[in-house]
Amino acid sequence: MVKRSELIKIFASMVTDDMLVLTPIGATSNLWEQTGRGSTSLTSLSLGMCTPTALGLALALPHRKVIALDSDGNLILNLCGLGTVGNEKPRNLTIVVFDNGNYLSGGPGKGKPGMPTATAGNMDLEAVARGCGIIEATTVRSEADFKTAVEKALKGDGPSFIVAKVDQVDLRESKVFREDRGPGQDTRENKYSFVRHVERLENIRILKRGAS
């Protein structure tokens, strides 16, 4: 198994600024923001809302690559979104799930595993995705296989679903706290900076001043 922090560094080296990245609340957002891409990504999405929000963006912007960097605890909480992904089949959507079989948040004092998720038992997220109609689904357990899977997903047609099995505890994760975030943004500031990023990319105006 590999460390989520290492996979996120690899992922950061593979995506370009014109791709939209979304991350859920917890260690994944903290680690992603450490790469310096926080202000142009939508981070710390509420529990269960990373993949569904990415799906909405992918459908709204079908010409643009959208990537959800989800996690097992977050995805399982709102699994019904995968059914909609399988039905809508957005070609531009990639879902990466960092699966440590655990609800470990990576917050202060969380240097050991927390409550197990269902993937610590029999649940197979790749099989769930296939069952929802997502054909391009795979599970990886090494940095090399992760890189290959992400390369394929970013170049080809989706929706793509990559389960990356990662260590339960990544000591680097447990040291990354909210106050250490790169741009020092809170979630409101992040929302505005992300929307402005989309506006620049698409040459459109999304947020407008009110009439009064």
Residue whose token pair is 């447990």? 174
Residues that bind Mg ion (CB under 5 A): 71-73, 100, 102
Shortest CB 139 distance to Mg ion, Å: 15
Shortest CB 33 distance to Mg ion, Å: 18
Rounded CA separation 16/150 (Å)? 13
Name which of 44 and 102 has its Cβ closer to Mg ion: 102
Name which of 72 and 170 has its Cβ closer to Mg ion: 72
Distance, first Cα to last Cα, the chain: 56
Name which of 27 and 132 has its Cβ closer to Mg ion: 27
Q: How far is CA 169 from CA 71, 114, 117, in A?
A: 14, 9, 14
Name which of 25 and 137 has its Cβ closer to Mg ion: 25
Name which of 118 and 195 has its Cβ closer to Mg ion: 118
Shortest CB 167 distance to Mg ion, Å: 11
Shortest CB 148 distance to Mg ion, Å: 23
Name which of 30 and 39 has its Cβ closer to Mg ion: 30
Shortest CB 208 distance to Mg ion, Å: 38
Angular region, 65: left φ>0, alpha ψ -120 to 50, beta rest: beta
Shortest CB 32 distance to Mg ion, Å: 15
